[in-house]
Structures are given as structure tokens and as C-alpha cells.
Copies of this chain bind each other. A is one copy, B any other.
Amino acid sequence: MTDPIAHRADGAFTGTADRVINDGSTPPSLLARSPRVLVGHGGGGRLTQQLIEEMFLPAFGDAHLAELHDGAVLSLGGTRVAISTDSFVVTPLFFPGGDIGELAVNGTVNDLAMCGAIPQYLTLGLILEEGLPMETLWRVVQSIDRAARRAGVSVVTGDTKVVEHGREPGLYINTAGIGVVPDGIDISPRRARPGDVVLLNGAIAIHGTAVMSVREGLDFETSLESDTAPLAGLVGALLAKLGLSVHTLRDPTRGGVATALNEIASSAGVGIEVKESAVPVWPDVAGACEILGLEPLYIANEGKVLVIVDGDVAEAALDLLREDPLGAEAVAIGRVVEDHPGRVVLHSTIGGSRVLDLLSGEQLPRIC
């Protein structure tokens, strides 16, 4: 374990094996560079990475963890468990294909699934703004209940706070989750290695485009709906069959596929090559992105997962993914290589290639 920092650029962070003791007297250089919190600090690009590396990990680095995950995998009374947390601040609260409540369940369920865990329990923290219509809260609570049933998890404890409202009363949700990691499973971004194949369970950029189309008041000819869905079943079936041949799982939410692959390449010290023509983008999503000036590879997904498997089982994995409706359109989009470690290279449809880098700021604020 030589990498002192384990982080995720999208604002999630986990601990590290080499705790940096900070006595509080030497504030990070981040303070000088950015005296105030910017929207981009929560958005999944370089600013978020700086916040995590220079502020959170020096403080919270933890000897229990040496890996870069969507959650923490650790031992609890002899059982290997995954723990994850996520806050949800999406606006509007309701959007085509979903709402903040459904996202809050699926987001944390999926983070646990990305650790190879079987999600079991969720906690629910609600921060409500005074004046929020009770009917709105009721709809969100019903949606959380439905999503939890669908994902097979129980909401076991919760907390409610009420704060003064902003321009329009809204709400924030935090969910934390826990699940057991079965024996014979070892999922980690560090396990991606040359020869592995990168799979994706379907078309990208749908969630972000659906939310932005409502928020911007745009009318597209086709009505896009968020792809939010719980992925634990899809992933569980894959792991049950292929076990240790599945190396890395990642749901490309904030920051999209490009950011997720960059994090994996950086963690594992490998290069990743992506074939642009292999990445499915629906025509109406592509059209909406063009109108909105957004790049699909950086747009948030909700029901999508990047699966990195040993090259020998890539075909078998694709077949397994396609057996689930959530993976019906699964494809191989690229491979892990020895060249250009830490970098993701996109081979474009017109024959050229370019580095897919992290974004500096944020394309889409409050997308989840």
C-alpha cells in the first residue's frame, strides 16, 4: 500500500492505509486557493478531488481501508460488511422517471452493490425546509418505501430535522446503508489490470439529461425518463457466477463514465481505452446534450454500472448481464491496458484518439 490517498472525485471518500496526522495548525493550501466553497466542490471534478485529498482524507484517513470504493468494506464482529452514505439534493424533487426519494434508495443500494455487498439495511436522514407541502413529503416517503421494497432493503432507523426555507421550500435526504459481502468476492478499483475488459449495462447520460431537460424548461420531442434503478440484483447474479473474475464495479453517477473510468485508472495504475462507437447513447439523449451543450460521457447516470472483468470471462459476463432487464443492452466498451497508466484514452468514431480527462468544475449541479 503506497498510495496515501483513497478518494472518489464525485465527492465520496473512503479512508486510507496511511493516515496523515494533522494537528490543525497547518490548514491545507486549498484554503489559499479557494477561500469559499464553490458549486464545483460537490460536482465530481478536480475541485472535488482537491477537497477530498487536501481536507477530508488527512483528517479521516483510516487504517481499516486501503481501497477506493463507493463505500467502505470492513469487519464487524467477524463479518465482512460494506457501509456507504450519500446525500441527495436534486432539483426538481420530481423529474421524469423518478424523484429524490427513489434516487436516495437506489443510490446507496448501488454503492453497496459496487462493493460486492448484498444490501440489507438503510438509514434515512431527512432535512425538511419549513413550509414544504406535506403532500410533497408524503409523495417522497411513498417513493422511498416503494424503492426500498423493490431493492429488497429495509429502512431501519431515521431522523428528521426542519430548517428555515430558501426561495422555495425543498428537502434534502441522506441515506446510509449496510450489507454483507459474501465470501469469494473481492471487488476493488485496484484490481483492474491489463487484459481486463470494460463492460457497461446500457445506454449512458439518461438521468442527467432527463433532470436537466425539466430544470431548463426544455421541451424535447421525446420525453426522456431517468434510468434510476437498483443494481444489486444484476450485480449479485454476476458475482454469484463469476466470483473473483469480476475485478471492479462502479456506478458512473456524478461525473459520468469518463470520471468513473479516470478514478479506476488512477487507483489501479493502469490505462483504460474506450471505443467511442461502442458506448451506447440514445439519439434523443444525444440531441438533448447538443442543445444543452453537454458531453454525454461526463453526464450522471443512475441505473448504470461499469463492470471490469478478466478478459477470459468477458463474453460470459455479457451473457449474464443481458439476462436481467437492467442489463438487456449490455456491451463491452473498452479494455484495460499497460500503456498510459492513470489515463483514459477515447478512440473516436472518426479514427482519432484523445485523453478523457477529469472536468475542472461541474457540468450539472444538484443532479442527485
Q: Tell me the A residues contacting B by CB distance below 8 Å.
A: 11-15, 22, 24, 27-28, 30-31, 34-43, 48, 51-52, 55-56, 59-60, 62-65, 69, 71-72, 74, 76-81, 83-89, 120-121, 123-135, 137-138, 141-142, 144-146, 148, 154-164, 166, 169, 172, 174, 176, 178, 180, 365-366
Contact = CB atoms under 8 A, between A and B. Distances in A.
A189 B48 CA distance: 43
A-side binding surface: helix, strand, loop or mixed?
Answer: mixed
A13 B138 contact: no
B156 A62 contact: yes
A113 to B, nearest CB: 15
Contacts of A42: 128, 160-163
Contacts of A76: 76-77, 79, 81, 120-121, 178, 180
A60 B145 contact: yes
B180 A138 contact: no
11 contacts: A13-B160, A41-B128, A52-B160, A59-B142, A59-B155, A60-B145, A60-B154, A72-B156, A74-B121, A83-B121, A123-B176
Nearest to A254: B161
A51 B160 CA distance: 9
A60 to B, nearest CB: 4
A154 B62 contact: yes
Contact of A87 (B52, B126, B166): B126
A162 B127 contact: no
